[in-house]
Chains A and B, each alone.
Chain A
Amino acid sequence: EVQLVESGGGLVQPGGSLRLSCVASGFTFSGFWMHWVRQVPGKGLVWVSRINGDGSSTNYADSVKGRFTSSRDSAKKTLYLQMNSLRAEDTAVYYCGRDRDGDGMVDYWGQGTLVTVSS
């Protein structure tokens, strides 16, 4: 059974850092692109980043480029999102999702982890 489990969310002050994790199981982790997508409670989905199977290629939304870094550890079957210089507008539920070709077919999603940026 395919499972994605996020963790690492919490309360952080503006300007602070946080690292999210997404542990994968039930599939060949290195064979899939992985995405991060966020959602402010009550609002819509917003794409954040994607990373290819071996971690050699990444793309980011303009709103997080230069502040967020996506990476992955194939041995641990874990996807990461390092978030620096956090702003209040980064407050959201963050979901990870797997995608066969990286082009939007996100067929499995995690349950999400809430990040709150506030003083």
Chain B
Amino acid sequence: QSALTQPASVSGSPGQSITISCTGTSSDVGSYNLVSWYQQHPGKAPKLMIYEVNKWPSGVSDRFSGFKSGNTAFLTISGLQAEDEADYYCCSYTSSRKLVFGGGTKLTVL
């Protein structure tokens, strides 16, 4: 199972919006609405930000949103804040009953 494809880095200024893509295949992202997104700050455990493509866990800001088109999922962060600077990973359930993560995207808030 190959990792999902994410851009290595994205950046934006405070208050702006950014979008991170996550491209998989018809065996994972394209077949299931089971894409999740995780935020990870250095030295910390990942934190669930979005699940099932576009749902928020309790306590997560609605500045984070997700959607999917075909084999690609997207995470949008609006109203960028300094604290959003972190690594972001997408994850999808697969047809082989496994999970697969993306390679990660480093978000820099300028």
A contact set with B: CB distance below 8 Å:
35, 37, 44-47, 50, 59-62, 95, 97, 103-107, 109-112
Contacts and interface: CB of A to CB of B under 8 A. Distances in A.
A95 B40 CA distance: 13
8 contacts: A50-B99, A103-B99, A104-B51, A105-B52, A105-B57, A106-B38, A106-B46, A109-B45
Main secondary structure of the interface of A (DSSP, over half): strand
A104 B93 CA distance: 6
The residue among A35, A60, A104 with the most chain B CB atoms within 10 A of its own CB is A104
Given A50-B99, A104-B99, A61 B36 contact: no
Nearest to B48: A107
What 5 A-B pairs come out closest when comparing CB atoms? A109-B45, A105-B51, A44-B104, A47-B99, A103-B93
A61 B1 contact: yes
B109 interface: no
Interface in B41-100: 45-48, 51-52, 57, 87, 89, 91-93, 96-100
Contacts of B18: none
Contacts of B32: 103
A106 B48 contact: yes
